[in-house]
């Protein structure tokens, strides 16, 4: 079985992540036991990583140095693939801890802190170096790193700013982003009971919306998650939606938030919403249309916005020659991870902010392959 784990780690740098958080669709790859029953790959990965110890050994490095900027799932997967290819890898991160969104985006019951610690130890054991509190774009530019002897630079700075809901009242007291909520609980270890209202409304249909909802529910709050489409089209992992509902989280489908209501003290009192429904448009497509005749209010004293994120390019914008898309994400050559600067590549949320965790991991691996091709010429 130890060999099975060794084999798994040749293609999957983060079985702690896929074994716990992978969407069910990945389980549905046709993998069966001798009786013809479907086997859950996620369960096998989790079993292997929790029951067997991988003795990390310093990797044989015979090739050039590569700098990876950002230690989220994309940067980690790229670093692991490059290390396996014989490159010396240094991962730089502006935060004081390693892991990117893995270090705060999941609740302890979904992805325990010790799983991330185990990942970091394994990476360090192979010789991958981590440098924290290093703001790329300020402390160094791509040109600086290339001059210091790195053969290539991979930018994997992920997602940053939470998207605005674009409705009145967003600056009211009691309105917060999912990012802030999760960082308070998972980074700063705050007890949300000390600042969460009794009625919590969460806006968003991705994984973190349900993480926030479950954390709030587990401290006894009345929690409603508002989603635009039907329950069956929520983008989060269906397993996490099911768990949230089983724990008492309410799901309000076909609902469009239109304004945040506030009291005389400037704090949120509710979310004004309209129902949505499917209608056929002139091209025969089913589209969601607002029913503007009926507005209703969901009472709330805390509102958590998990509507989505923009790419984290704040410190990259002054880098000469680096090109961006209209939505501020980093532009890469189509299908490839190479940016407008030679020797500089990009992967993960910074290229496509709506990317899922597993897609970010895959994009890190693909970027590593591109870097390997570039450095082998």
Ligand X SMILES: Cc1cc2nc3c(=O)[nH]c(=O)nc-3n(C[C@H](O)[C@H](O)[C@H](O)COP(=O)(O)OP(=O)(O)OC[C@H]3O[C@@H](n4cnc5c(N)ncnc54)[C@H](O)[C@@H]3O)c2cc1C
Window of 40-48, 59-67, 87-95, 141-149 that interacts with ligand X by CB under 6 A = 87-95
Separation between Cα atoms, residue 244 and residue 213, nearest integer Å: 7
Nearer to ligand X, 208 or 270 (CB): 208
Contact 224, 249 (CB under 8 A): yes
Site residues for ligand X, window 1-40 (CB under 6 A)?
A: none
Q: Alpha-carbon distance 123 to 115, whole Å?
A: 13
Q: Tell me the C-alpha distance between 282 and 285, whole Å.
A: 7
Q: Give least dist CB 197 to ligand X, A.
A: 20
Beta-bridge mates of residue 275:
255
Asked if 136 interacts with ligand X (CB under 6 A), we say yes
> Does the footprint of ligand X cover residue 115 (CB under 6 A)?
no
Which CB atom, from 176 or from 273, has the smaller least distance to ligand X?
176
Using rule CB under 6 A, residue 72 touches ligand X: yes
How many whole angstroms separate alpha carbon 106 and alpha carbon 27?
20
**Cα–Cα distance for residue pair 361/304, rounded to 1 Å:** 27
CA distance 135 to 313: 11
Q: How far is the CB of 358 from ligand X (least distance, A)?
A: 6
**Binding of ligand X by 105 (CB under 6 A):** yes
Q: Is 133 left (phi over 0), alpha (psi -120 to 50) or beta?
A: left
**Contact call for residue 100 and ligand X (CB under 6 A):** yes
Residues 6+ apart with CB under 8 A from 357: 17, 21, 73, 101, 207
Contact with ligand X (CB under 6 A) among 67, 152, 357, 371: 357
**Neighbour tally for 198: CB within 10 Å:** 11
Task: Examine residue 304 and tell whether it contacts ligand X (CB under 6 A).
Answer: no
Give the C-alpha separation, 162 to 311, whole Å.
Answer: 9
Cα gap 251→280, rounded to integer Å = 25
Dist CA 290 CA 279 (whole Å): 10
Q: Between residue 175 and residue 194, which ones bind ligand X under the rule CB under 6 A?
A: 178-179, 182
- Contact flag: residue 315 with ligand X (CB under 6 A): yes
Candidate ranges 8-16, 156-164, 186-194, 260-268; the one touching ligand X (CB under 6 A): 156-164
* Cβ(136)–Cβ(157) below 8 Å: yes
Q: Is 203 in the site for ligand X (CB under 6 A)?
A: no
- Residue whose CB is less far from ligand X, 75 or 270: 75
Which is nearer to ligand X, 196 or 337 (by Cβ)?
337
Residue 329 near ligand X by CB under 6 A: no
**CA distance linking residue 56 with residue 59, whole number of Å:** 9
Binding of ligand X by 137 (CB under 6 A): yes
CB of 66: closest distance to ligand X in angstroms? 15
Answer yes or no whether residue 355 interacts with ligand X by CB under 6 A. Answer: yes
Indicate whether 92 belongs to the interface with ligand X (CB under 6 A).
yes
Binding site for ligand X (CB under 6 A): 69-75, 92-95, 100-101, 105, 134-137, 156-159, 178-179, 182, 207-208, 309, 312, 315, 348-350, 355-357, 360
């Amino acid at each position: 079985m130890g060999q099975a784990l060794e084999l798994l780690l040749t293609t999957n740098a983060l079985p702690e992540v896929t074994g716990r958080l992978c969407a069910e669709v990945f389980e549905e790859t046709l993998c069966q036991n001798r009786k013809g029953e479907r086997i859950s790959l996620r369960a096998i990965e989790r079993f292997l990583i929790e029951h067997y110890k991988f003795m990390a050994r310093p990797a044989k490095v015979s090739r050039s140095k590569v700098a990876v900027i950002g230690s989220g799932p994309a940067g980690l997967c790229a670093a692991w693939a490059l290390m396996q290819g014989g490159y010396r890898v240094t991962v730089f991160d502006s935060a004081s801890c390693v892991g990117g969104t893995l270090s705060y985006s999941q609740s302890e019951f979904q992805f325990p802190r010790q799983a991330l610690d185990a990942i970091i130890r394994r990476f360090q054991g192979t010789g991958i170096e981590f440098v924290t509190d290093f703001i790329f774009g300020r402390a160094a530019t791509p040109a600086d790193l290339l001059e210091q002897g790195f053969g290539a630079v991979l930018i994997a700075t992920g997602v940053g700013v939470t998207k605005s809901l674009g409705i009145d009242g967003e600056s009211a007291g009691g309105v917060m982003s999912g990012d802030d909520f999760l960082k308070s609980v998972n980074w700063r270890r705050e007890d949300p009971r000390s600042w969460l209202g009794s009625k919590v409304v969460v806006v968003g249909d991705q994984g973190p919306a349900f993480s926030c909802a479950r954390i709030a529910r587990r401290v006894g709050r009345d929690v409603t998650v508002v989603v635009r489409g039907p329950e069956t089209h929520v983008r989060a992992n269906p397993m996490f939606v099911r768990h949230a509902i089983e724990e008492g989280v309410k799901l309000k489908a076909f609902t469009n938030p239109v304004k945040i209501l506030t009291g005389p003290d400037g704090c949120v009192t509710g979310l004004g919403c309209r129902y949505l429904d499917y209608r056929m448009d002139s091209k025969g497509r089913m589209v969601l249309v607002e029913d503007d005749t009926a507005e209703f209010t969901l009472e709330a004293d805390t509102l958590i916005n998990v509507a989505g994120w923009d790419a984290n390019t704040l410190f990259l914008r002054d880098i000469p020659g680096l090109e961006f898309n209209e939505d501020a994400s980093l532009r890469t050559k189509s299908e490839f991870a190479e940016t407008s600067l030679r020797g500089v590549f990009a992967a993960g949320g910074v290229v496509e902010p709506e990317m899922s965790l597993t897609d970010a991991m895959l994009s890190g691996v693909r970027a590593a392959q591109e870097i390997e091709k570039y450095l082998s010429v």
